[in-house]
């Protein structure tokens, strides 16, 4: 609940800042909109690239875990085949 409140405050303050920035901007509206658009595309590309990097690393980690799990399962299987008389 606290995180939701904090997020809503951050979004509200950001919206107010953008509004005030547009109102008091030294450039005309079309130029300001172009700047906002270009910056938005830069941020979108940045977020997309970082998210893709995160997914690649997560995928690699999962593959490593899968490989290790398969190896452990194989070792356990081999150990149980080798000593069936010890199991009671």
What's the per-residue H, E or C state across 20-69?
HHHHCCCCCHHHHHHHHHHHHHHHHHHHHHHHHHHHHHHHHHHHHHHHHH
Q: Let me know if residue 63 belongs to a domain.
A: yes
Is residue 38 situated within a structural domain? Answer: no
Q: Tell whether 52 is covered by a domain.
A: no
- Does the residue 34 lie in any domain? no
DSSP 87: -
Domain region containing 76: 58-82
| Cα–Cα dist 87/13, whole Å | 67
Does any domain span residue 72? yes
Using DSSP's 3-state secondary structure scheme, residue 83 falls into: coil
Query: Cβ atoms within 10 A of the Cβ of 22, count?
Result: 13
| Residue 78 forms part of a structural domain | yes
Domain count, the chain: 1
Inside any domain, residue 9? no
User: What integer pLDDT is reported at residue 61 of this predicted model?
Assistant: 93
Task: Tell me the per-residue pLDDT of 8-58, one tens digit each, with 9 for 90 and over.
Answer: 888 889 988 888 877 777 777 788 788 888 888 898 999 999 999 999 999
């Amino acid at each position: 609940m606290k995180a939701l409140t904090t997020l809503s405050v951050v979004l509200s303050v950001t919206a107010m800042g953008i509004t005030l920035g547009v109102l008091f901007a030294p450039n005309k509206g079309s130029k300001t909109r172009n700047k906002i658009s270009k910056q938005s595309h830069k941020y979108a590309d940045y977020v997309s690239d970082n998210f893709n990097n995160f997914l690649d690393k997560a995928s690699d980690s999962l593959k490593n875990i899968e490989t290790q799990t398969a190896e452990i399962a194989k070792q356990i299987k081999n150990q149980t085949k080798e000593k069936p008389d010890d199991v009671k």
